């Protein structure tokens, strides 16, 4: 982690992500992972989140000072569970929420793995299954001076049969991910705080609009 300064008080950070499965993690003031809890079920976010949080908080190494929320890309129904949980927890404790692009956490995992093995990943694309025969992808080019992944593209959605062509055009190696690591969501947030780069936008990155919407007006009743 880059040197800590006035932007980051060095507190204990809780991370919550429900963009794929459900992941909860806690890191301490030095960026050391102290707790990780997760469920791979892509449909049971609401059922899993309460138990995972209870377990994680029981083992937290002190008072939580920040909450990192994975903002997607992810499906509407699942993603909002984690974001709502993060915001509710932060509101109850009067602490800030740090929004994190979930693909950034996956990218940092790839980059740290490359650093540990001495293998440079080069330009690569984090790819997650968006269902409905579509993929979500984001292309990355290494890390910047703050230790944060550099996005070459913003998260986007493509039909499965178009993805390979698009990645070839971008010169990006494909890195499929079936989970978002909660610990890396926390570490991204800590590095954003340390660099004074917390995003102003807190809008979720929904893959698509919800299937169920409010009616636009009353329907005509006929005899």
In a domain, 106, yes or no: yes
Inside any domain, residue 143: yes
Six token digits for residue 195: 């660099």
Residue 94 CA to chain centroid, in angstroms? 22
Mean confidence (pLDDT) of the chain: 88
The answer to whether the beta carbons of residues 150 and 200 sit under 8 Å apart is no
pLDDT at 222 over 70: no
Identify the pLDDT of residue 6: 45
- Nearest residue to 193 via CA among 157, 160, 147, 150: 147
Give helix 76-93 / helix 45-58 axis angle, nearest 10°.
Answer: 30
Do the Cβ atoms of 153 and 163 come closer than 8 Å? no
Predicted confidence at residue 215, as pLDDT, reads: 43
Average pLDDT over residues 206-219: 54
Residues 12/42/111/57 CA torsion (nearest 10 deg)? 10
Give the confidence band of 131 by pLDDT, cuts at 50, 70, 90: confident
Distance CA(75)–CA(33), nearest Å, equals: 27
> The whole model's pTM is what?
0.88
Does 158 reside within a domain?
yes
- The per-residue pLDDT for 207 is 87
Structural domain total, the chain? 1
Q: Is residue 120 part of a domain?
A: yes
Residue 214 contacts by C-beta under 8 Å, 6 or more apart in sequence? none
**Domain hosting residue 110, numbered range:** 12-195
Q: What is the CATH number of the domain that holds 123?
A: 3.30.420.40
Which pLDDT tens digit goes with each residue over 28-67?
Answer: 988 899 999 998 877 788 888 999 999 999 999 889 999 9
Is residue 211 included in any domain, yes or no?
no
172 and 124 in contact (C-beta within 8 Å)? yes
Give the residue-averaged pLDDT of 104-112: 97
Q: How far apart are CA 137 and CA 170, in angstroms?
A: 12
Instruction: Say if residue 78's pLDDT is above 50.
Output: yes
Token pair belonging to 20: 């794929």
Q: Is 110 left (phi over 0), alpha (psi -120 to 50) or beta?
A: alpha
> What does the pLDDT read at residue 11?
84
Nearest Cα neighbor of 81 from 128, 14, 18, 15 is 18
Q: Is residue 147 part of a domain?
A: yes
87 part of a folded domain? yes
Instruction: Note whether residue 218 is domain-resident.
Output: no
For position 174, what pLDDT does the model report?
98
């Amino acid at each position: 982690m880059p040197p800590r300064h006035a932007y980051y008080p060095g507190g204990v950070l809780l991370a919550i992500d429900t963009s794929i499965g459900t992941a909860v993690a806690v890191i301490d003031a030095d960026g050391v992972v102290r707790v990780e809890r997760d469920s791979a079920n892509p449909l049971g976010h609401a059922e899993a989140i309460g138990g995972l949080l209870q377990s994680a908080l029981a083992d937290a190494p002190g008072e939580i000072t920040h909450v990192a929320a994975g903002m997607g890309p992810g499906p509407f129904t699942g993603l909002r569970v984690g974001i709502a949980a993060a915001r509710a927890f932060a509101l109850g404790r009067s602490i800030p929420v740090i929004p994190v692009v979930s693909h950034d956490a996956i990218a940092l995992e790839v980059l740290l793995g490359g650093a540990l093995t001495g293998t440079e990943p080069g330009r690569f694309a984090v790819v997650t299954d968006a269902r409905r025969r579509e993929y979500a992808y984001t292309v990355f080019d290494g890390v910047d001076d703050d230790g944060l992944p550099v996005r070459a593209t913003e998260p986007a959605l493509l039909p499965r049969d178009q993805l390979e062509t698009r990645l070839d055009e971008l010169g990006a190696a494909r890195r499929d991910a079936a989970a978002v690591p909660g610990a890396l969501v926390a570490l991204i947030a800590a590095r954003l705080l340390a660099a004074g780069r917390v995003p102003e936008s807190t809008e979720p990155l929904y893959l698509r609009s919800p299937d169920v919407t409010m009616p636009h007006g009353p329907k005509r009743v006929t005899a």
